[in-house]
Structure formats: C-alpha cells, structure tokens
Structure 1
Amino acid sequence: MSVSRPPLHRPTDGRSQQPLLKDDHHRRSRSSFGHHDTEARPMLHHTRRPTFRSKSPEHDAAQATKKKYMVASGFLVLSLVSFVVQTETASYIQNDLGWKKPYCMLYMTHGSWSLLWVVQLGILRLQKRGLSWDAFWRRHVSLVRTTAQMVESQEVHLSTRSSHRSPVRYMVRTTAFVTTALTIAGGSWYVAVNMTTASDLTAIYNCSAFFAYAFSIPLLNEKLRFDKVFSVAVATIGVMVVAYGDRPEKKASDGENTSDNSAQNRLLGNIVIGIGSILYGLYEVLYKRFACPPEGTSPGRGTIFANTFGSLIGCFTLSVLWIPIPLLHWLGWETFEWPTGEAAWMLIISVAANATFSGSFLVLISLTSPVLSSVAALLTIFLVALVDWFRTGEPLSMASIIGGVLIMVAFFMLSFSTYRELSEERKKHLENDDVESDSDL
C-alpha cells in the first residue's frame, strides 16, 4: 500500500531551511543599510571587514602605506611652499616695512588657523555636490564626532561604551594644553630674536627634531633605532653647518650685531630659545599622542580631523590668547597698532601662508610621525636660502649648500625608515582587521 506523501514545496529562489533564511535576513538588513540609510545614518565608526583577501597582508600593507605616503607627500610640498612664502613676507613686513609687532603677529597667524575647518568644509562640499546639504552636514558632523571618539579611545573600531561617550570635554582639554605648548614655543622665538645671534637662533630652535624623537620614545612608545638616531643627528649637523659655517663677512656682521648686547643677554637668549625648541618638539609629540586618530585610520579621515583640530587651536588662540595684547600695550613692551597700506596686505598673505603651512604640517604629523615631520620642516632652511638667492642675487655659500645636502640626505633616510615602520604596523592591523579605508567614509 502506498503511502501518500506531502508534496515538497521548494522555495523558487533556491533557499531552504531556517538557517539560510536567517542569514538572508541578515544580508538584506545590511543591504538596506548600505543603500537606503547611508545619508541618514552614516555610522562612520563601523568599518567593513573583508571576508577574504586577494593579496597577502604584506602586499596590502605596502599598498596602504604607499597611499598614505602619497597623501603625505602632497601636504609636504604644500607645507614647504607655504612656509617659504610666510617666512619671506614676515621678514619683509618687519625689516623693510618696519611693522615689528611680534606677539600681535603670532596672535594673528595662530588665530587664522580657525579658518582651516571652514576652507576644508567648502572643499568637501564641492566634492559631495550630489548630496543634499542636510545629508552632507550630518555625514560630516558624524565623521568628526566619531573620529574624536577614536582619538580619545585610540580604537579604530569603537566599542559601545566609547561610541556613546561625548568627546567634547576631552577635545577642549587637549586643545588647551597643546595650544599652550605651541604658543610658548612660538613666543620664545620672538623673545629671543633680539637677545641672541641669528646663527644661535636658527641652530638651537631647529634642534626640535631631536627633542621630538626624545619625547616620542616615552609618549609614543617609539623604539630606539639606530637609523632614526643617525638621521636626526645628520639633520642637526646640517643645521649647525648652515648656522655657523657661513662666510667670514657674515660672521663678522653677526659679531657686530651682538657686540651691543652683553654675553649675559646672549646666554639668556640661548636659554629661552632652547626652552622653545624643547617645547616645540613636545608640542608635536603631544599632538600626535592626544589629538590624532590611531594607526589603521584611513588617510582621508586623518586629514579631515587634522584640519579640524587645527581650527580648534585657532579658536582657542582667538578666544583666550588676546589677553596679553592690552597688557603689553599698557606696559609699553609692544604698542598695539593696526597695520596699514602695504604692511596690511603683506600681513594677510603671510597669515594665509602660515595657516596653510600649519594645516599641512598637522596632516603630515597625523599621517606619518613627529620626527619625520620635524626633519621635513628643516628642508625649509635650504629652500629659504634658495629663494633669497633668487630674490637678492647673492649666491649660496658653501656652508648653505653642504648643510642643505645633509638635511636632505637625513630626510630621505628617515623617510625610508618611517615607511618601513608604517608598513610593519599596517600589516599587524590588517591581520587583525583593525583597519579602515577611505571607501568607508
């Protein structure tokens, strides 16, 4: 006797049994998020983790580091060009036009950093013209907020607790002490400029690369590597050659300039600029340690947040550091006076160039390291000398050429060492899927 069996009703789409249906529901929910809710709920702190890789972790790490270095190289070129413009215009304003207001110029230049975020927002808006303003604004605010949470927690993939914690208090506190270190370091240069020689000023202040490496060891857990120590030492020797190996007639002029000052004033000026050099190296490391997202963050996110933090420094400067201006005016140490005519226009150019340099320099530190960024900044010594040569017709001295070559050699050696370190670090994060790509943004 045959037993009637119920007909088999197979799903027409090829699916069967509950587990697959459950998995399909999960896939559809993810698909819905990816296509329907992207603008409304970007969830920038969640990154896609690949289920398979077509290449080895070594290849992926090399490609990611190469991309990061390409972005950093662009900002390096921008920072060098803008620094030369800022240096030449500032020198022209003070020496040729006679508007010597060091603290006021410091306040204006650092305060101009507040415009970095505004300019960046305009560029991002042009890139995302297809989005409505509300959607674009929500995405941008979410990106900045989640990146600030990543900075505070030092997590690429935010935990539930970290994602619900407001980063405002942390960012205000970080902005305050980083800006304080920067302002004291920058102010020391203006204080010491009339107390010591130009050679001492250049040589001591640019030793900040050495102090950046020294502070990176305890604060950033940098390893003491011979190639890095050697590179920094070569760069420092190059600065010393430029500062002290100049032509005899310039040395004589330096001696004439300092003969009016006592040896005590020169010693005090060297101490002041020495403190400034230490603090500038500390400022770079503090920024990297407390205001940069962790390794594994995409270059795009790091760039956007670096300029945002630069704007926070500018806002802190404008809102707090105006206080010494009336005090200096009242004491007669620096009489407040608005620039007029040519001085005003040149000051606008100088301030804009400084903001461009500072924003690019912050991005460079965020994407690479404070040590490499410091040594890269030393390249401006040689570039300024080249510009002076074309501007005044006075050829470069042998000391300037030798010192410039040493600085460039040190920079390329340190670049290779840092590139190798970043690749190794990126490989570790790739193996743990603790990375993020710009496509996630």
Structure 2
Amino acid sequence: MALSTLSKWLLAFAIASFVLQSELVQLVQSSKDYYKPWFILYVAHGAYALFLPFQYIYMRTKVSHSEYLKLIQRNIDTLPYTSKFGIWQRMTILTILFTSASLFWYISVSKIPIGDITAIYNTSCFFTYVLSTLLLNEQFKWLKLSAVGISIIGIACISLGPRISVSGHSDQFIGYASAIISSFCVAFYEVIYTKIGITFTPSLFFSINITGRIGVVTILLGPILFPIFHFTGFETFQLPPIEAWPYILLVALLGMIFNALFLLVITFAGPVTAAIGILVSIPLTSLVDWVLVGTPFGWNTGIGSALIFIGFFVLQYDSEPQQLLTETEPLLE
C-alpha cells in the first residue's frame, strides 16, 4: 500500500527543510568562518524546546489546563515499557542518540562535499532495516530488502563518483568517518524512538511534545560538554560573529521543522520507509550544491538519483500507513 497523502506531504516538507538546512550549515562554517559544530548544534537543538510553549498556547484554545495535562499523561501511559522507563529517561536516551548523530554530521560539513555527506548520512536506511529486524522484530521481506539494496547502489554511484576536493586529505578522512558514524547513530535513534517513543496509536500531538522535550534535555545537559570540548581542544568556546547569527537562527528554525516532520513520518510510516524516503534529499542537495557552489552534478549523480527514487517507490508500496490520532481524541473516550 502506498504512503498516505499526509505522509507524502510531511516527507516533502521535511526533505525541503533538510536541504536548506544543509546548505546553511555549510555557509556558516565556511563562508562565515565559524566552524563550531557543537555550538551551532546546541542552539539548533535547544530551540526545539520552543515547541512546548507553542503547543501549550495552541492547545489552550481547545481544552483547559487540566485537560491538557491529562492529555499528556494519557499519551505517556500508552508508551511501551512504562515499568522500565520514565518519560524523562526516554527523552535523555533519545537526546543522546539524536545529538550524537547530529554532532558527527555537523563535524563532516565543510570537510567533504555536502552531496557526499548527504549520501553517506542517508545510508542510515541500511542500518535502520537491520536494527528494525533485530530490535523491533520487523518481518523480513525480500521486497523491502530489494528497495534498500537499490537505494544503497544509488548512494554508491553518487558518493564514489569523481568529486572536487574541498579540504586537505586528513580533513576529508575525518569528514567521511564522521558522516558514517552519523549515519549509524541516526538509524539507532529512529529505531529506538519507534521502540520507546511512540504511543499505541500514533499521535501528532505527542510527537511534537517529544520534540520539545528533546530540546529541554539539550538545554539542561548540553552545557556540560562546553568546558570538556574547550579544554580538550576539540572545540574552543567562541561566540559567533554578529553577521553569522541570522544564519544560525535560521538553521535552528529549519532544524525544528525537519525534526518535527520527520518524527511524524517515522510515526505514521515506520522508520525504514522514513529513512528511504529522506534519500530523495541526496539528489536535491547535490543539485542545490551545484547551483549555489558549483559542485559538478555528473552522470554518477544522475544514475544514483534515479536508483534512489526507484528504491523509494518500491518500498512505499510495501508499507501501510498508520491511523492518525488527533490531539484531542484521547479525551473523548
């Protein structure tokens, strides 16, 4: 069965925000000469906390304060493994995984071409499929494996093709290694989110609430790493120049949009379908990079892009969309 119309629109907007965010991060760390991946990540992920007050203001137009709190608790009570994990324990686990994936992605930016970063990052679909069968007991299907395989071949065509060097050899090694680690971490995050962060009936309301909670955990625990990174020399603390702030804030906004939408796609379509779907960002990022930066969009990118699209459309017909739960339905029982 094909993806639902809602899932397709969510995925489309998520892809657009990811492409724009990728180009802006590269701009800040290169053109604005501010290569501080942890600081940019901290601002971007900390901004997720804004979802909570925005959600509360919106919901107060529909329900009372007490009903709002009951709604949150009702969603929490339907999470799996309630006897093992409290809500903030879950949020800490998800934040660590998500932050690890993002930090390695930020490190790779400006060290290797953005098209290569996006291609390697999105090999997470392979890790997602393997981890889903191991941790989620997902049924093995040859059609789904074929879709992943086709997409992986497409990624190989893009990333193994000729590219213009953007940095020194050692920087490139760090960039490619970071992108690979990021790919695994994001797959682990998606699968663990599916295992401990999704209610029995998928809830748009609670997916947004989880995103906000990840922002709160980032704000509270993130400062611990600033002195560690500073004194170890990994990233000396330095505030960005004034002209870089608008771009960093825009990165944060796009990150909020992407993460919220992508969580919804995972919720309603499953982690493997979401991972394959976001692969569409690879050819789009390469195209944008070619237009703005001049990185060649060669034959390898064209062939790889075609294979990625084929893999995505093969997979979506083997995925059943889940029922959408509105933000007020739990109160109507």
Shorter-chain TM-score: what band?
0.7 to 0.9
Correspondent of 2:64 among 122, 133, 136: 136
Q: Measure how far apart 1:199 and its partner are.
A: 7.4
What's the counterpart of residue 145 of structure 1?
A: 73
Q: Measure how far apart 1:101 and its partner are.
A: 0.5
Q: Measure how far apart 1:371 and its partner are.
A: 0.6
CA–CA distance in structure 1, aligned partners of residues 197 and 301 of structure 2: 36
CA–CA distance in structure 2, aligned partners of residues 392 and 196 of structure 1: 13
Correspondent of 2:222 among 321, 344, 357: 321
CA–CA distance in structure 1, aligned partners of residues 53 and 19 of structure 2: 24
What's the counterpart of residue 208 of structure 2?
A: 307
What's the counterpart of residue 172 of structure 1?
A: 88
Q: Rate the CA distance shift 1:405–1:118 in 2: closer, same or farther, 3 A.
A: farther
Correspondent of 1:333 among 230, 234, 240: 234
Q: What is the SS of the residue equivalent to 1:152?
A: coil
Q: Rate the CA distance shift 1:414–1:121 in 2: closer, same or farther, 3 A.
A: farther
Contact 1:84–1:384 under 8 Å retained in 2: yes
Which protein has greater RCO, CA pairs closer than 8 Å, 6+ apart?
A: 2
Q: Rate the CA distance shift 1:407–1:226 in 2: closer, same or farther, 3 A.
A: same
Contact 1:202–1:243 under 8 Å retained in 2: no
Q: Measure how far apart 1:387 and its partner are.
A: 2.4
Letter in 2 for 1:400: T
What's the counterpart of residue 121 of structure 1?
A: 56
Pairs within 5 Å for 1:288-307 = 288-294=194-200, 297=201, 302-307=203-208
What's the counterpart of residue 281 of structure 2?
A: 380
CA–CA distance in structure 2, aligned partners of residues 107 and 147 of structure 1: 28
Correspondent of 2:154 among 228, 238, 241: 238
Q: Measure how far apart 1:240 and its partner are.
A: 1.4
Correspondent of 1:101 among 33, 36, 55: 36
Pairs within 5 Å for 1:161-200 = 170-191=86-107
The number of residues matched between the two structures is 330
**1:346-379: CA deviation from partner (whole Å, max 9, x where unpaired):** 1111111011101111111111111111111211
CA–CA distance in structure 1, aligned partners of residues 192 and 59 of structure 2: 28
Question: Which ranges of 4 or more aligned residues in structure 1 deviate by more than 6 Å?
Answer: 194-200, 435-439
Any gaps of 5 or more consecutive residues in structure 1? 1-61, 129-134, 154-161, 427-434
Contact 1:239–1:403 under 8 Å retained in 2: yes
Q: Measure how far apart 1:286 and its partner are.
A: 0.1
Determine which structure has more spread, i.e. the larger CA radius of gyration. 1
Comparing 226-235 with 378-387, greater Cα deviation is found at 378-387
CA–CA distance in structure 1, aligned partners of residues 112 and 285 of structure 2: 21
Q: What is the SS of the residue equivalent to 1:104?
A: helix
State TM-score, norm by structure 1. Answer: 0.67
CA-based RMSD: 3.0
What's the counterpart of residue 277 of structure 1?
A: 183
**1:110-159: CA deviation from partner (whole Å, max 9, x where unpaired):** 11111123333344455x3xxxxxx4323322222101111136xxxxxx
Any gaps of 5 or more consecutive residues in structure 2? none
**Is 1:87 aligned to 2:22, yes or no?**
yes
Q: Rate the CA distance shift 1:123–1:410 in 2: closer, same or farther, 3 A.
A: farther
CA–CA distance in structure 1, aligned partners of residues 106 and 294 of structure 2: 28
CA–CA distance in structure 1, aligned partners of residues 22 and 116 of structure 2: 18
Q: Measure how far apart 1:436 and its partner are.
A: 6.7
Contact 1:107–1:317 under 8 Å retained in 2: yes
CA–CA distance in structure 1, aligned partners of residues 52 and 176 of structure 2: 36
